[in-house]
Amino acid sequence: MIKLLSPLAGYALPLVEVPDPVFAEGLAGDGLAIDPTGELLHAPCAGQVRLLPAGLHALQLLTDGAELLMHVGIDTVRLGGRGFEPLVADGARVRTGDALLRFSLDAIARGARSAVTPLLLSGPAGAAISRRVTGRQLAVGDFLMEVAPAGAGAPQAPATLTAAGSIMAAGPAAAGPGVAAGPAAAATDAQGEPLRRTFIVSFDHGLHARPAAMVAAALRGLAAEVLISAHGRHANARSTVALMSLGARRGQEVQAAARGPDAAAALAALERLMSAAPAAPAGRAAPVPQPAAPAQPPTGSVELPRVLRGVVAVRGLAVGVAVPLLQTEQVIGETGAGVETERLRLAAALEAVRARLAARRAAATGARAGILDAHLALLADPELAELASTQLAQGRSAAFSFREAVRTTAAVLASLEEDALLRERAADLRDLERQVTAQLLGGESEAALPEHAIVLAREVLPSQLIGFDPDRLAGLVMAAGGATSHVAILAAAMGVPALVATGDAALAVPAGTPLVLDADAGEALVGPEPAMLAAARARLAERSARAARERARAHESAVTRDAVRIAVFCNAGSAADAAAGVRQGAEGCGLLRTEFLFLDRREPPDEHEQAAAYTAVAAELGGRPLTIRTLDAGGDKPIAYLPMPAEQNPALGLRGLRTSLWRPELLAVQLRAILRTAQAAPCRILLPMVTDPGDVAAVREALAAAGRALGSGPAPALGVMIETPASALLADQLCAQVEFLSVGTNDLSQYTLAMDRQHAELVGRLDGLHPAVLRLIRLAAQAARRHRREIAVCGALASDPLAVPVLVGLGVHELSCVPAIIPRIKALLREVVLTDCEALAAAAMAAADAAQVRALVQHWQSARGLAQEVA
């Protein structure tokens, strides 16, 4: 055995955490990596040094029976040797601990992607690592790893058994690209033993609905039985629900066993999906999920509230009747009319619901499409079908059998207390239960609403919202939820007033109770007096008439009373969104979110697909300007084929432009696609999550290279998003590098106020009208004016009528809104005076908090006769 000591001071990492696929996927050899804190590389054992000529950043140490490659940093070859000083000559023999290489961490930080240093077995064949240390801080000379030299015989992996005791028996370790190898066999033996492979889950949120559906889809058409195991649970790999019920999270290990003619192909398909990611540090057990206490419904002793107060998610006014989302459970008979009869009834109901979902999916884009895809996968899930079939075989009715199948699986998911995403999938299953049982019982799905329905629920899922008839849905009131959630975004696009975080009082309102939802004031009146109800209906009629007038002038420019023109664009995530924006009077698209092309798929879109999609959006705009934001991945937008290094806080990790620069090949393809679109339509390029002017320079170089490759003309205007305090404070330097700025107020508020956008307890305090956020916007606007650059706001504040005069007063002359609000925003702008807005903005920045700012603006609008017209 060869004992290797740490050649560096730093933190030891498994290879899968190296931010480069060549190393992370084991293509360069087995080993580990160190994130260094020192600047001196030492010999981990005695041997002969071979200096590698490319850039002085890597060397090889030769010993008897093993060779070790030490590669300082990632992409350090681009430094051309700057910052590296070899301390030994090529061919020198060294002793353990001798200094080999001095390097500059500062030079690496400035010119390379990472200082993480892989230490790899590079030959000869047969050498194998028997022990290694990762997940801890090391000093120079600490034990690092032990290597069995070639010919010594690699140690056998221990057995990994399932409950059956044999299906996952140990085999020789075998690694492939994109997987962390564990017990595996190269082929099925003569006794028909299965092929085995161990994977590390790399999806950011574990095996939730979409990754699980992707796994199941990858096995379609293959003649193989595949079992996946984790946490002592076992799942049919073709079952989305069963995979979800494993509770496998990012960085956790799952074992796969495949049997049948296509077993090897099945494991290969899993390899393409399940890229390697870090396991838990040695000695630390994964937490065991504890069953959550069942939710208790409101009892009859709860006093009916008179007013529900909450956080405004979508402004507006609605008058209607309460429709609790979770209605009293329908009575379902347990006994069926015969096994075959009930099987046929269930099959027909499932097909009817499937057809309804498929029809919606055909017309859906973006987030709606992804949600419906997941629902269709759940509906076709073989595990659900098997559970229902077991119930049917015992003589139960179709409705009872399906309900029991759903609730059995939903209970498993709901018990995973540490994983909110899996608990949400349990709610998705209950949504399907309601639809299928309603179909079987001859009634309408609960998604069919009465006229003027104001839906009350603990939290409406996006999948539920898109199933409601928009002509019947008047408003939403949620006990929980957030103002920047996906449901809030969808509701805003639909023009549906919504309150969130009202508390459990909302769940006590009986069905059919008259309601007045005043989402401008942040409250809902429960059972109002007839006079109040009549007044609210009169206000609503007045607003409807005003909205009609606003729509009639929606295609006119927005010019203030003192002749200042404010451009009003739309935000879009698809060609359909752009078309909706144009119908509402948008003068262009100020933000095209390109994530709709990259999410929920197994490989990135190629240049042709991206160019076609961007061109389709441009065609809907009819020659109006199009601002295309480059991929904003990471954080709350994980991408399955782009496994990120483990992050304690993804919101502070590889997000936005950082991800694109981390994977420059993806950026290059996207830039070429945008340039192809720009040849026929007016386009701008917007870069997300920029905190360093140097990153803009890197994109400039990539854009120039893309232009040379295509032989295209001048590059489109380049802009950056102001989403962090850093970018606002550096706005002067950024303006020197770009042609325009665009403020993303959602993230700017989150990072400025140090409040997670998804945190239920903080949602009521996260408000972009906070004076601290406004001061940062002002800094950016002042820098834009000094450099004669345009500055826009594309975040949620641009769609908030209370915020618009403040933004104009801060110096913002371009707004990019959700399409439904554009006519109202334009009408408001025509009624204000720039100097008044500037005085308002100054007062807002001097306020103590966002609540004071909102009260100030409401008083300001009321004093000018604007509140009843546009608020």
Percent of all residues in the chain with a pLDDT value above 90, rounded to a whole number? 34
Which range of 236-250, 316-330, 354-368 scores highest in mean pLDDT? It is: 316-330
In this predicted structure, what is the pLDDT of residue 368?
A: 61
Q: What is the arithmetic mean of pLDDT over 316-345?
A: 82
pLDDT band, residue 52 (cuts 50/70/90): low
The CA-based angle 328-330-333, given to 5 degrees, is 150
**pLDDT score at 18:** 76
Q: Which residues are catalytic?
A: 486, 794
CA 53 to chain centroid: 42
pLDDT confidence tier of residue 150, bands split at 50, 70 and 90: low
Q: Does domain 2-148 have CATH number 2.70.70.10?
A: yes
* Residue 25 banded pLDDT, cuts 50, 70, 90: low
Res 793: pLDDT = 96
* pLDDT at 41 exceeding the cut of 80: yes
Which of 73-82, 537-546, 562-571 has the weakest average pLDDT? 73-82
List the structure tokens of 694.
């140097």
Q: How confident is the model at residue 289 (pLDDT cuts 50, 70, 90)?
A: very low
DSSP 553-587: TTTS-EE-TTS-EEEEEEEESSHHHHHHHHHTT-S
Question: Per DSSP, which regions of 739-831 are E strands?
Answer: 740-743, 790-793, 814-817
Report the C-alpha gap between 798 and 825 in whole angstroms: 9
Instruction: Give residue-wise pLDDT tens across range 625-645.
Output: 999 999 987 654 556 566 656
Q: Look at 289-303, 422-436, 816-830 and tell me which has the smallest mean pLDDT.
A: 289-303
Q: Which two tokens stand for residue 337?
A: 């009319």
Q: Report the helix count and the strand count for the chain, using DSSP H and E.
A: 28, 35
Q: What is the 3-state secondary structure (H, E, C) of 7-20?
A: CCCEEEEEHHHCCC
Coil, strand or helix: which one is 194? coil
- In the chain, the percentage of residues whose pLDDT exceeds 70 is 77
78 or 404, higher pLDDT: 404
Stated as kind and residue range, the H or E segment containing 839 is helix 834-845
Top-confidence range, 177-186, 236-245, 384-393, 524-533? 524-533
- Residues 430 and 407: their CA atoms lie apart, in Å, by 7
What pLDDT score was predicted for residue 23? 67
The one-letter amino acid at 165: G
Q: Which pLDDT band holds residue 813 (cuts at 50, 70, 90)?
A: very high
Which pLDDT score is estimated for 213?
63
pLDDT at 491 exceeding the cut of 90:
no
Most distant pair of Cα atoms in the chain: their distance: 96
Highest mean pLDDT among 109-123, 271-285, 823-837: 823-837
Please check the confidence at residue 818 and state whether its pLDDT lies above 90.
no
The arithmetic mean of pLDDT across residues 492-515, rounded, is: 87
Query: What CATH number labels 305-327+446-539?
Result: 3.50.30.10
Q: Is the dihedral of CA 834, 839, 842, 847 positive or negative?
A: negative
Statement: residue 821 has pLDDT above 80: yes
- Specify the pLDDT at position 185: 32
66-75, 179-188, 293-302, 592-601: range with highest mean pLDDT = 66-75
Residue ranges of the chain assigned to CATH 3.20.20.60: 557-637+650-870
CA distance 426 to 436: 15
Give the pLDDT band (50/70/90) at residue 553: very high
Residue 488's pLDDT is: 79
At 402 the pLDDT is 87
- Better-predicted residue by pLDDT, 156 or 513: 513
Between the alpha carbon of residue 374 and those of residues 210, 368, 378, 543, the distances in Å are 6, 10, 6, 38
What is the arithmetic mean of pLDDT over 811-827? 93
Query: Is 174's pLDDT higher than 50?
Result: no
Check if the beta carbon of residue 138 is closer than 8 Å to that of residue 8. yes
Residues 508-515: what's their mean pLDDT? 90
pTM passes above 0.75? no
Q: Which residue has the higher pLDDT, 248 or 21?
A: 248
**How does residue 439 score in pLDDT terms, banded at 50, 70 and 90?**
confident
pLDDT of residue 333 exceeding 70: yes
Higher-confidence residue: 519 or 80? 519
pLDDT, position 152: 53
**For residue 208, pLDDT beyond 80:** no
Q: pLDDT-based confidence at 192, cuts 50/70/90?
A: low
Q: In what order do the strands lie in the sheet with 253-259?
A: 195-200, 253-259, 225-230, 233-236
Label residue 415 by pLDDT band (50, 70, 90). Answer: low
| pLDDT over 80 (residue 424) | no
Residue 148: half-sphere exposure toward Cβ, Cα within 13 Å = 11
Residue 70 has pLDDT above 90, yes or no: no
CATH 3.50.30.10 placement within the chain: 305-327+446-539
Average pLDDT for 431-459 = 78
CATH 2.70.70.10 domain locations along the chain: 2-148
Q: Residue 293's pLDDT is what?
A: 31
Mean pLDDT of the chain: 80
Helix H, strand E, coil C: the string for 749-801 is: HHHHHCCCCCCCCCCCCCCCCCHHHHHHHHHHHHHHHHCCCEEEECCHHHHCC
For residue 641, the Cα-to-chain-centroid distance in whole angstroms is 13
Fold annotation for 557-637+650-870: TIM Barrel (3.20.20)
Query: Which residue did the predictor score with more confidence, 697 or 601?
Result: 697
Q: Which of 122-131, 258-267, 487-496 has the highest mean pLDDT?
A: 258-267
Which helix or strand (DSSP H or E) is residue 48 part of? strand 47-51
Q: Answer yes or no: are the C-beta atoms of 162 and 232 closer than 8 Å.
A: no
Q: Which of 315, 311, 792, 807 is nearest to 547 (CA)?
A: 315
